[in-house]
Structure 1
Amino acid sequence: MIFVKKVANVIPLVLMVVVHYQCTKEMEKAKTEQLADQSHLARIAAISLANGDLNDNNIKYFGRWDFSNSSKYVSKWGGAYIKVRFTGTTVKIMLGNKSNYYAKIDDGPWVSYKGVTGTVNLTPSPLDDGTHTLSVAQGKDNDYVFSFLGLVLDTGATTVAPPVGIDLVEWIGDSITAGYTDSQADVSDYAWVCSEAMGTEHTQIAYPGVCLVSGYTSFPGMDDGYFNLQSPNNTSSPPWDFSRYTAKLVVINLGTNDYRKSVPSSTFQNTMTNFLQDVRDKFPDAEIFVMRCFKYSSMASPITAAVKARQAAGDGKVIYINTSNWVTSSDYNSDGLHPSDAGNKKIANLLKPILSPYLSTATPFYLDHCDATTGWSSSNTLSVNTTDKKEGPGSLQSTGSSSTEFRKVFTTPVNTGASAATGSIQFWYYVSDVTKLSSTNQIEVGSGGVQDVKEYGWKIGPLVNGWNLITKPISAATITNGTPDLNAINWIRIYHSKTGSITTRLDDFRIIP
């Protein structure tokens, strides 16, 4: 009897375990099905968000766009464009304003759609089924409004994120940079052509007739208008949010209209100097290039003076581009002022080798990696620091109070391939205590093998404790006892008078051609 009672007591327990096991299995099954449903819904949601409408994150926008209206996205600067990939055989674009648009599919040519609005078929002849790349830009003389409402794809087709360039170049200018009178506006002007050839994304913050200096036209000059969301003819424009993108390079081509409006040279120079400082404040790390006007040679003097003023203030990343004799009368349209399509291509081809070495994709030319003391000397204790460095396995380190920190004579002269007009030296320089540095300092690079012979020299400029990236345009250097041969550089020296013992380091000494 006792045994029977025990069995009777065990049976309910076994049944409870079986029921619990079955419930657990059912719950796990339900959970698995729920996760599968959620995954399926997520896939459906991802597809629905990749349908070409304004919520589609696969569409990438370049330029200054206003996204405040959920029914349309608008840009009011020329050269604004979108990029996206899509599946299927056809694509249409929905536009909210009448203007000139330019579309490029895959590796095809830019196709003009002039004076169009509404839903525009960009594939009147269907494409092969597959995944395609689409770019659409806008540009029309004095009317730079791109009102984008979305894309129309084939049934079941989706968008895909497009490849995007690592760097972005911001072009600042007037009608010449805006492609005024060109066959395809911004798309066929030098700024666009040069950017595309370098593989960068780009913005063209430019407007016909604009001066640098405000007060000489019916709309603001670029000293004010550049900093706004919309082009200068939109007088109530809100300011632009510069955190939206970061330019790797900024290229400025202004002064043509200032000359034509008789802006005094001194006023232009002062305004340009301040403008360069204001642009630097927005893009602290960008290389800023300032072009000489293609015409009106008298503007070259105040432009170069403004550049040198910024360089003297310690901004080594401001570089002057001398465009003298780049274009001739045959390179202009019939008005004699605006470059033709062929003239724009010519300018772009001349700009590309100047700008390309400053891009992230460029292969740097090292004058010295600064990873070993071989060939180097110092008036202080010289060593290699393998823990605090900017490139390679180490950095050179000088510790002491003597002025000569780093000096090297190359037994085999180095052909840098650099241009004195547009090249730069660049290196990392570490300082442990800037309060112990005096004003006597110099960077020297030359081909004479000793100091003060065929030598370029620069002041090091404002420094902070820690690492400083130093960039010095060759055009801003002083020259001592003969012009150095950039194809036979054999001398480097850095010295700094001190009031006490400090540590300095040197790394990644390169030449930008």
Structure 2
Amino acid sequence: MHSSSSWWGNRLRWIAAALGAILVATVLPGLAPTASAAVIPGTWYAISNQHSGLVVGIEGRSTANGARAQLLNRTDATNEQFRFVDAGGGYFRIEARHSGQVLDVHAKSTANGADIVQWPSNGGTNQQWQVNEQADGSYEIVNRNSGKALDNWEGATTAGSRVSQYTRSGSAVQRWRLIPIGAAQAGDGSVTDSNLQYYGRWATDGFWRTMGWAGGYVEAAFTGSTIGVRLRNTIDVYYSVDGAPEQWRRNVSGDVTLASGLSTGTHTVRIGFRERAGSYTGDPAFGGFVLASGGATTSIARPANFIEFVGDSITVGQPNGDRPFTAYPYLVGESLGAGHTQVAQGGACLVSTSDGCYGMMDWFRRSSAWVSRDDWNFSTYQATAVVINLGTNDVGHGVSTVDFNRNYVVMLERVRQAYPNAHIFAMGVFRNRYVTETRNAVQTRVTAGDTRVHFVDTTGWVDPATDTHDNVHPTDAGHRKIANRLIPIIDQYI
């Protein structure tokens, strides 16, 4: 059922489309059907939406016929790279690099809102597109069969949203930047700047991006003599400029300068937040980078691998004051040159219990620990490895060994559904709880044919007397020991 606000939004859009059609015929020369000669056949492009800053990509990196095109955060992965192949008559086929298939209006539809999918090239006019350059350097992309424009459906700003066709309107939702892969493009540092790279689970909140769970961060390359960050309310923010050791700005808000007096040339910056948890209610909201006058962002490489760590307070790094960057997940990711994040919460269990324990088998599917539904879109990014460290807390909430084993199998199945190609590592917890059940759950999945699931025996990794604060939570030195054991295990597979 559609809400009334959605209904009115769609009605207004129909009105706008009708007005747009009138403008096409009268005062918008940019909508004239003249294909641009500025597109270079053979060049691979990211197709970036002017309204959202997101790019066109094929869902889940699928190579299947009919896989949907979506709006995604730019990573320059091959499912986000397209080239324009001359189809004759001033039209192009738009070919996806990862699959060799072309963008296609589903079922040759001429309806507003029809999905854009990939399909093997067959010469159909629903696979042919006119590319019209606009005065501002953006492009309108029009389907030959329907005469309608490639469109960001409903003006979305969230990764995973639909790409459709719609009556030509001349609006920003139908304007696209064609960015040659590898070419440096100047950006403004705003949250929708396609040069920014987000790691972990970030949600759109108006003009802000909020960090869900722990260990999320944002990176950018930039020019200019200063760099700052825009914050909404009070938070502890850590940062690194040009790869220097991470530092803190504690209890800050507003526009915060991180570095000044920088030399001429290109620099890098990373920022992240202390996680919102327990009595700490800081606001982990990112409003973009603050650049010097004349400064700009430029593209920054994103690692080929991404590791997601799922767990409880040990995975968060609590109670250590410099978490997350002293915790074993962060150390492992950095050592392997991989992107990384921690989907973890202090006190979490594997199994959701009647007395209120966060069951990560369920909460794993959410954008943060403070939402009430399964809202995370796993097409936002794909992990190449997932490390699970759960079972320390379930004993205190009455979870039986039978229930733990059964639900661990479910957890592994859900992770596989979310990340079809990832290697999954199930760690035996350091307190030696449910280790047999964890191992057996892994074997169940292997027997079912999932050969990318691995049990990690952590026996002897942590000495409670010397490596923990309280017989449970590792010290910084304890985290380094764990990381040193885990790094070579994961390195075998990614």
1:288 maps to: 424
Q: Is the 8 A contact 1:141 1:208 kept in 2?
A: no
Q: Distance in 1 between matches of 2:354 and 2:251?
A: 31
1:293 is displaced (CA, Å) by 0.3
Q: Is the 8 A contact 1:213 1:222 kept in 2?
A: yes
Secondary structure in 1 matching 2:331: helix
Distance change (3 Å), C-alpha of 1:328 and 1:302: same
Correspondences of 1:31-430 after superposition (within 5 Å): 42=137, 50-67=187-204, 69-123=205-259, 125-140=260-275, 142=277, 143=280, 145-218=283-356, 220-231=358-369, 234-295=370-431, 297-359=432-494
Q: Is the 8 A contact 2:307 2:333 kept in 1?
A: yes
- Structure 2, gaps ≥5 residues long: 1-37, 39-132, 139-176
Q: Is the 8 A contact 1:84 1:134 kept in 2?
A: yes
1:76 is displaced (CA, Å) by 2.0
Distance change (3 Å), C-alpha of 1:358 and 1:48: closer
Q: Is the 8 A contact 1:211 1:256 kept in 2?
A: yes
Deviations 1:472-498 (A, max 9, x none): xxxxxxxxxxxxxxxxxxxxxxxxxxx
Distance change (3 Å), C-alpha of 1:298 and 1:61: closer
Secondary structure in 2 matching 1:77: strand
1:200 is displaced (CA, Å) by 0.4
Deviations 1:225-245 (A, max 9, x none): 1111222xx242442111111
Q: Which amino acid aligns with 2:480?
A: K
Q: Distance in 1 between matches of 2:368 and 2:415?
A: 17
Q: Distance in 2 between matches of 1:344 and 1:189?
A: 6
Deviations 1:445-482 (A, max 9, x none): xxxxxxxxxxxxxxxxxxxxxxxxxxxxxxxxxxxxxx
1:254 is displaced (CA, Å) by 0.3
Secondary structure in 2 matching 1:101: strand
Distance change (3 Å), C-alpha of 1:257 and 1:52: same
Q: Is the 8 A contact 1:287 1:318 kept in 2?
A: yes
User: More displaced, 94-103 or 195-204?
Assistant: 94-103
Q: Is the 8 A contact 2:464 2:470 kept in 1?
A: no
Deviations 1:408-432 (A, max 9, x none): xxxxxxxxxxxxxxxxxxxxxxxxx
Q: Is the 8 A contact 1:141 1:181 kept in 2?
A: no
Q: Distance in 2 between matches of 1:230 and 1:208?
A: 13
Q: Is the 8 A contact 1:83 1:136 kept in 2?
A: yes
Q: How many residues align?
A: 318
Distance change (3 Å), C-alpha of 1:179 and 1:274: same
Q: Which amino acid aligns with 1:159?
A: T
1:333 is displaced (CA, Å) by 4.0
Q: Distance in 1 between matches of 2:191 and 2:380?
A: 18
Q: Distance in 1 between matches of 2:487 and 2:416?
A: 22
Secondary structure in 2 matching 1:122: strand
Q: Which amino acid aligns with 1:130?
A: G
User: More displaced, 52-61 or 213-222?
Assistant: 213-222
1:325 is displaced (CA, Å) by 0.3
Secondary structure in 2 matching 1:117: strand
1:119 is displaced (CA, Å) by 1.4
Distance change (3 Å), C-alpha of 1:210 and 1:145: farther
1:193 is displaced (CA, Å) by 0.5
Q: Is the 8 A contact 2:308 2:383 kept in 1?
A: yes
Distance change (3 Å), C-alpha of 1:249 and 1:329: same
RMSD: 2.5
Deviations 1:86-121 (A, max 9, x none): 111211100113222110111211001222221111
Secondary structure in 2 matching 1:177: helix
Q: Which amino acid aligns with 1:263?
A: V
Correspondences of 1:1-40 after superposition (within 5 Å): none
Q: Distance in 1 between matches of 2:464 and 2:357?
A: 30
Q: Is the 8 A contact 1:65 1:75 kept in 2?
A: yes
Q: Is the 8 A contact 1:230 1:237 kept in 2?
A: no
Q: Is the 8 A contact 1:294 1:323 kept in 2?
A: yes
Q: Is the 8 A contact 2:464 2:472 kept in 1?
A: no
> After TM superposition, which residue ranges in structure 1, 4 or more long, deviate above 6 angstroms?
45-49
1:460 maps to: none
2:70 maps to: none
Q: Is the 8 A contact 1:210 1:217 kept in 2?
A: no
Secondary structure in 1 matching 2:492: helix
Q: Is the 8 A contact 1:62 1:201 kept in 2?
A: yes
Q: Which amino acid aligns with 2:444?
A: A
1:55 is displaced (CA, Å) by 2.7
Q: Which amino acid aligns with 1:272?
A: Y
Larger of the two Rg values belongs to structure: 1
1:275 is displaced (CA, Å) by 1.1
1:180 is displaced (CA, Å) by 1.1
1:190 is displaced (CA, Å) by 0.2
User: Normalized against structure 2, the TM-score is what?
Assistant: 0.61
Q: Distance in 2 between matches of 1:49 and 1:146?
A: 26
Distance change (3 Å), C-alpha of 1:39 and 1:235: closer
1:506 maps to: none
